[in-house]
C-alpha cells in the first residue's frame, strides 16, 4: 500500500463524520480519485460503472465494479475480499440491465428500509442513468446530493501525500525543461509532445512517473487563443507562441504548471501581457498564506493587474492533488469572487491566471502548497516568457 493503513482509516473516519453532518446513512462514491483516496483502488476501469458504497454503520466500504476488475481491487485496496463485489459482464453497456440494479440490490440487502443515501450527483461517472436505476431499485430510499464530501476531505494533504506531490514536482522540472529546450522552428509539434510524454513517465533515476489526469496541453500560434487545444500535426514556425500546461504525476498525485515559449521576438501585446501576468503571479504567490479567503487571493491579483491591458474574467486558480482523467482539479476551492474558503496549511492550489485573447494566449502559473506561514512551490521553474 502507498499509505499506512491508519491513514486510510483516518480518511474514512473524516468521510463518515461529514456524512453524519449531512444525515447520510450511505454514501456512494463514484469519483475514481475518491475511490483511490479511501481504499487505494487504482485501475483504468472507470469507463465502466464502479464505485464504493460507504455505510455509516459498517467498518469497511464495499467496492463494486466489473468482475474482470475485481482482482485489481484485491491487489490495490486494503479491503477484505468479502467487501469486493464484481458484477457479471452482461451488465456492461447493456440496453436491458444496468450495474446500478446490482448496487440497489446490495443496498437493499444491507441497509434499513428507507436509508438516506448520498450520491456524487455531478461527478462524471455518476450519470443520469445511474441515478434512475438506483432510484427505481430503492423506491423508499431518500437519495440526495453527497457530491464533493470526499473531495473536501482530500483538500488538506498529509505528509506522505505531499512527499508524492514533491516527487511529481521533480518530474515536472524535467518535463518542462524538455519542452522548452526542444521547441524550435521546423521541429514537429508531435515530436516535442512525444519527448514530453517520455519525460513524464520515465521520471527520474530514482523513481518513474505516472500518467497525469490531463494530457500535455501545448498548442501553438492561433490555437493559443483558447484554453484546451494541444499539439497539431505540423512543425513550429518562427515567431509563434507555444503554451505549455504540463504536469508531473506520482502515484496519481500531480504537480501541474504552465509556461509560455515564443520562437522569436514577442510583440508589444505579448510583452505587456507577460510582464503584467508574471508580476500578478509573483504578487499572489507572495500573498498566499493560511487564514485568508480564496476570494482575497483573487482580489489581490485583480489589484495587481489593474490599469493594465490584461482582462481576466475566469477564476485564477483551483485546488488540485490526487486525480484521474479528465481533470486534476479537485472541484472544491476556486480562486474567484464569492469563494470564502479559508486557506489552511496542507492545501494545494494551482494558481493559474491563463490569458486567452482573440489574437494570442499567455500562461504562467505556479502550483503551491500552503504552509504554516505562507506557501511553497512544488517545482522550481523560472517565472518568465521563454524566448527561443
Q: Could you say which residues in the range 344-373 bind a copy of itself, by CB under 8 A?
A: 354, 356, 358
- Contact region with a copy of itself (CB under 8 A), list: 4-12, 125-133, 174-182, 291-299: 125-133
Q: Can you tell me whether residue 241 is helix, strand or coil?
A: strand
Binding flag, residue 194, a copy of itself (CB under 8 A) = yes
Alpha-carbon distances of 191 from 183, 186, 210, 218, 345, rounded to whole Å: 9, 11, 20, 12, 40
Q: How many residues bind a copy of itself (CB under 8 A)?
A: 82
Among 4, 22, 23, 71, binds a copy of itself (CB under 8 A): 71
Binding flag, residue 215, a copy of itself (CB under 8 A) = yes
| Alpha carbons 139 and 252: distance in angstroms, whole number | 37
Among 90, 109, 140, 268, binds a copy of itself (CB under 8 A): 90
Binding flag, residue 211, a copy of itself (CB under 8 A) = yes
Binding flag, residue 31, a copy of itself (CB under 8 A) = no
Residue 31 CB, shortest distance to a copy of itself, in Å, is: 11
Binding flag, residue 338, a copy of itself (CB under 8 A) = yes
- Contact region with a copy of itself (CB under 8 A), list: 41-49, 259-267, 341-349, 363-371: 41-49
Among 287, 293, 327, 388, binds a copy of itself (CB under 8 A): 327
Q: What is the grid cell recorded at 24?
A: 447520510
- Of 376, 380, 386, 387, nearest to 162 (Cα)? 376
CB-based contact 249:211 (threshold 8 Å): yes
- Contact region with a copy of itself (CB under 8 A), list: 155-163, 281-289, 302-310, 318-326: 318-326
The nearer residue to a copy of itself, 37 or 152, going by C-beta atoms, is 152
Binding flag, residue 130, a copy of itself (CB under 8 A) = yes
Q: What are phi and psi of 34, to 5 degrees?
A: -65, -40
Among 14, 58, 106, 131, binds a copy of itself (CB under 8 A): 131
Q: Can you tell me whether residue 254 is helix, strand or coil?
A: strand
Place of cell 508574471: 278
**Residues with Cβ within 8 Å of residue 86, at least 6 apart in sequence:** 64, 65, 66, 67, 68, 69, 70, 73
Binding flag, residue 123, a copy of itself (CB under 8 A) = yes
The DSSP symbol for 25 reads S
The nearer residue to a copy of itself, 9 or 78, going by C-beta atoms, is 78
Binding flag, residue 223, a copy of itself (CB under 8 A) = yes
Site for a copy of itself in 267-296 (CB under 8 A): none
DSSP line for 27-81: EEE--HHHHHHHH----S-TTS--EEEEETTSSS-EEEEEGGGHHHHHHH--S-G
Binding flag, residue 303, a copy of itself (CB under 8 A) = no
Binding flag, residue 85, a copy of itself (CB under 8 A) = no
Binding flag, residue 147, a copy of itself (CB under 8 A) = yes
The nearer residue to a copy of itself, 200 or 284, going by C-beta atoms, is 200
Binding flag, residue 72, a copy of itself (CB under 8 A) = yes
**Residues with Cβ within 8 Å of residue 214, at least 6 apart in sequence:** 245, 247, 256, 325, 326, 327, 328
Binding flag, residue 334, a copy of itself (CB under 8 A) = yes
CB-based contact 14:149 (threshold 8 Å): no
Amino acid at each position: 500500500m502507498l499509505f499506512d493503513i491508519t491513514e486510510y482509516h483516518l480518511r474514512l473516519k473524516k468521510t463518515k463524520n461529514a456524512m453524519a453532518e449531512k444525515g447520510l446513512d450511505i454514501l456512494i462514491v463514484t469519483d475514481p480519485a475518491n475511490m483511490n483516496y479511501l481504499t487505494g483502488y487504482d485501475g483504468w476501469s472507470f469507463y465502466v460503472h464502479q464505485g464504493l458504497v460507504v455505510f455509516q454503520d459498517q467498518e469497511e466500504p464495499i467496492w463494486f465494479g466489473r468482475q474482470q476488475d475485481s482482482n485489481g481491487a484485491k491487489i490495490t485496496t486494503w479491503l477484505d475480499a468479502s467487501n469486493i463485489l464484481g458484477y457479471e459482464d452482461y451488465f456492461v453497456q447493456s440496453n436491458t440491465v444496468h450495474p446500478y440494479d446490482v448496487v440497489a440490490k446490495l443496498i437493499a440487502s444491507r441497509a434499513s428500509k428507507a436509508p438516506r443515501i448520498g450520491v456524487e450527483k455531478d461527478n462524471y461517472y455518476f450519470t443520469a442513468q445511474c441515478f434512475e436505476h438506483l432510484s427505481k431499485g430503492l423506491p423508499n430510499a431518500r437519495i440526495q446530493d453527497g457530491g464533493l464530501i470526499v473531495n473536501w476531505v482530500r483538500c488538506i494533504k498529509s505528509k506522505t501525500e505531499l512527499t508524492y506531490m514533491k516527487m511529481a514536482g521533480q518530474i515536472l522540472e524535467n518535463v518542462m525543461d524538455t519542452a522548452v529546450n526542444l521547441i524550435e522552428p521546423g521541429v514537429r509539434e508531435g515530436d516535442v509532445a512525444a519527448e514530453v510524454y517520455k519525460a513524464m513517465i520515465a521520471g527520474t533515476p530514482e523513481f518513474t512517473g505516472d500518467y497525469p489526469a490531463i494530457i500535455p496541453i501545448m498548442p501553438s500560434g492561433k490555437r493559443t487563443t483558447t484554453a484546451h487545444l494541444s499539439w497539431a500535426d505540423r512543425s513550429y514556425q518562427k515567431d509563434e507562441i507555444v503554451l505549455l500546461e504540463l504536469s508531473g504525476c506520482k502515484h496519481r498525485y500531480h504537480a501541474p504548471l504552465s509556461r509560455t515559449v515564443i520562437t522569436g521576438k514577442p510583440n508589444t501585446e505579448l510583452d505587456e501581457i507577460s510582464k503584467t501576468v508574471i508580476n500578478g503571479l509573483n504578487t499572489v504567490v507572495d500573498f498566499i498564506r493560511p487564514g485568508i479567503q480564496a476570494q482575497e487571493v483573487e482580489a489581490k491579483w485583480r489589484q495587481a493587474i489593474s490599469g493594465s491591458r490584461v482582462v481576466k474574467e475566469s477564476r485564477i486558480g483551483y485546488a488540485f492533488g490526487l486525480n484521474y482523467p479528465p481533470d486534476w482539479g479537485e472541484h472544491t476551492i476556486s480562486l474567484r469572487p464569492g469563494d470564502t474558503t479559508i486557506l489552511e496549511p496542507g492545501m494545494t492550489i494551482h494558481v493559474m491566471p491563463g490569458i486567452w485573447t482573440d489574437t494570442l494566449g499567455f500562461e504562467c502559473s505556479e502550483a503551491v502548497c500552503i504552509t504554516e506561514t505562507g506557501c511553497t512551490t512544488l517545482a522550481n521553474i523560472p517565472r518568465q516568457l521563454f524566448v527561443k
